[in-house]
Chain A
């Protein structure tokens, strides 16, 4: 891919050292019943801010900013978030993260989360928008103490749906590995490659819809919230409850709980019904609110 030097290939010949890179480290620690900033490291296009509006209750709210405005092919982003013992950290992003059409190189996103004993970490970025032709590999890894709480909320929108774009080609690989007390308890993988539009059109995959999200709560009492989440999403309640489920138009959803976890899968026609469902699910989880910056 570096052999030709035609002007149209200019993007493909950007040397690796000039591709964008961002690395962020945020440590939060408990101090006198609230949470304060510990070690902070910012490199490349990665920045973090701690808005006053985010200071509610015991939690510290961190807002991540990508000064590059999105990820191009070959860009790499790494975020390490750490909630120390008894600390409560909420992390979000200032805006939707855009993954641009690639020249052939893959964008890489790595998220590493650690939650110590008695601590809580909520990772709830705004949506990732995958442009047609983007190539992205993302990994989310977490290590959670047995008595800690982790909430993951990851909305993804395939294509710029507002302008009628679909994700028809490119590559998306999303890899989740969640450990509790050193043991792997949840693993998930999304793999889209080749004729992506045809893959997403199938009834067993996405039925042609473009927006999805997984919510995962790991907490000692996570399973007890399942009924409330199902009701909030319009899925009806427990099996003996014969109320017919009424999902909103443009949304498909399911929720399940096992082994100290609660998982919600959402699939939506586009971003609007997806965000609405996420808000209802988070409210029903009862572990915290959506970050203030989501309202702007």
Chain B
């Protein structure tokens, strides 16, 4: 079991590293990506608190973020089991599992940046030898899963905080684009945490060959965003 699980009974695991890694200030550039949401605001699919809450909830349950959590969990388990072959399979799938050019860029740019920052400030043997296992780029959720396992952090908290960070980033983008007031932004964040609480435990139990979702309109939005005339975000 992980180091965190070895904490005395009743003690809370030390999650401080996760709060730092998944805060908006961590240098992965998350603020530059909207996961196609910028196009959904352009077409008025998202225009108020209700439509934003619905969009974010659908992505957490059926979209890219849900698939991310599945990939995060498999990367985590492969590192914890020292299963290099399994980790290679997860990293290959995570890098290829993108419906559009911008969605692939979004996950690979953040993944590479996350690994670079974490290797420098939170070194761990499993992070150092990653290059021996996989010579390609690393998708963002897989990078987070690898780092959490390398530091003995618990998987359920890692998956929940990851999903919460992704949801908060979407809300933050929408607050600026729609625009929405601070109070509506906070309500959207509160709604997202309720969904994350239900969805994270489900995602970490999904077998790798069942990876998938149903967010076709979100995928199309990321494609349409590529030719959006005025844009603030890179995806």
Interface pair A187/B93, CB less than 8 Å apart: yes
Chain B hits for A265, CB < 8 A:
99, 216, 219-220, 223
Partner of A205, one of B40, B62, B222: B62
**Identity of the chain B residue whose Cβ is nearest the Cβ of A202 in the assembled complex:** B58
Closest to B221 in A: A254
CB distance from B131 to the nearest CB of A (A): 17
B interface: dominant SS: helix
B188 part of interface (Cβ distance < 8 Å): no
19 A-B contacts (beta carbon < 8 Å): A187-B93, A188-B212, A189-B67, A189-B213, A199-B62, A203-B45, A205-B214, A230-B227, A237-B227, A239-B226, A239-B227, A239-B228, A253-B220, A256-B100, A256-B226, A258-B101, A259-B104, A265-B216, A265-B220
Residues in chain A near residue B220, CB distance under 8 A: 252-254, 265, 267
Return the chain A residue nearest B136 by Cβ. A183
The reply to whether the CB of A85 lies closer than 8 angstroms to some CB of chain B is no
**Docked-complex contact A184 and B213, CB < 8 angstroms:** no
Within 8 A of B (CB), among A158-201: 173-175, 178, 183-192, 199-200
B224 at the interface (CB under 8 A from A): yes
A204 engages B63 (CB within 8 Å): yes
B62 touches A263 (CB 8 A): no
A185 CB, nearest partner CB in chain B, Å? 6
C-alpha gap A217/B104 in the complex (Å)? 17
Q: Apart from A178-B96, A203-B58, what 15 extra A-B contacts exist at CB < 8 Å?
A: A175-B209, A184-B93, A190-B212, A190-B214, A204-B45, A204-B54, A204-B215, A205-B58, A206-B214, A230-B227, A239-B227, A239-B228, A241-B227, A252-B217, A254-B220
- Give every chain A residue within 8 A of B227 (Cβ-Cβ): 230, 235-239, 241
B215 surroundings in chain A (CB, below 8 A): 204-205
Residue among A204, A257, A259, A265 with most chain B CB within 10 A: A204
Q: Establish whether residues B213 and A256, one from each chain, have CB atoms under 8 Å apart when the complex forms.
A: no
Residue numbers of A with Cβ under 8 A of B are 173-175, 178, 183-192, 199-200, 202-207, 212, 230, 235-239, 241-242, 252-259, 263, 265, 267
Whose C-beta in chain B lies nearest to the C-beta of A189?
Answer: B212
List the A residue with the shortest CB-CB distance to B102: A256
Q: Which one of B97, B101, B214 lies within 8 Å of A199 (CB-CB)?
A: B214
- Which of chain B's residues have a CB closer than 8 A to the CB of A174? 212
Contact between B55 and A204, CB atoms less than 8 A apart: yes
Contacts of B101 in A (CB 8 A): 256-258
Task: Give the CA-CA distance A173 to B228 in the complex, in Å.
Answer: 32
Once bound together, how far apart are the Cα atoms of A184 and B134, in whole Å? 13
Interface size class of chain B, counting residues whose CB lies under 8 Å from the partner chain: 35 or more
CA–CA, A253 and B227, complex, Å: 13
Q: Please give, as numbers and ranges, the residues of chain B lying within 8 Å of A212 by CB-CB distance.
A: 216
Contact (A189, B100) CB under 8 Å given A205-B62, A239-B227? no
Q: Does B218 sit at the interface, judged by CB under 8 A?
A: yes
- The 0/1 profile, CB within 8 Å of A marked 1, for residues 78-111 of chain B is 0000000000000011011101111010000000
Asked if residues B212 and A267 are in contact (CB atoms below 8 Å), the reply is: no
Contact status B59-A189, CB under 8 Å: no
**With A and B bound together, what is the CA distance between A254 and B226 in angstroms?**
10
Judge whether A254 and B100 touch: CB under 8 Å.
Answer: yes
Contact partners of B210 in chain A: CB under 8 A: 173, 189, 191
Nearest CB of A to B105, in Å:
8
Say if the beta carbon of B15 comes within 8 Å of chain A: no
- Docked complex Cα distance between A260 and B93 (Å): 17
> With a CB–CB cut-off of 8 A, which chain A residues contact B97?
187-189
Residues of B contacting A267 in the complex (Cβ-Cβ under 8 angstroms) = 216-217, 220
Cα distance A187–B213 in the bound complex, in angstroms: 12
Q: In this complex, what residue of A is CB-closest to B46?
A: A203
A237 to B219, CA, bound (A): 19
**Among the interface residues B46, B216, B229, which one has the most CB atoms of the partner chain A within 10 A?**
B216
Closest 7 A/B residue pairs (Cβ): A189-B212, A254-B223, A191-B212, A258-B101, A254-B220, A256-B100, A204-B58
State whether the Cβ of B211 lies closer than 8 Å to any Cβ in chain A.
yes
B114 to chain A, nearest CB (A): 21
A192–B215 CA distance with the chains assembled, in angstroms: 10
Complex CA–CA separation, A186 to B103 (angstroms):
12
B95: chain A residues at CB < 8 Å are 184
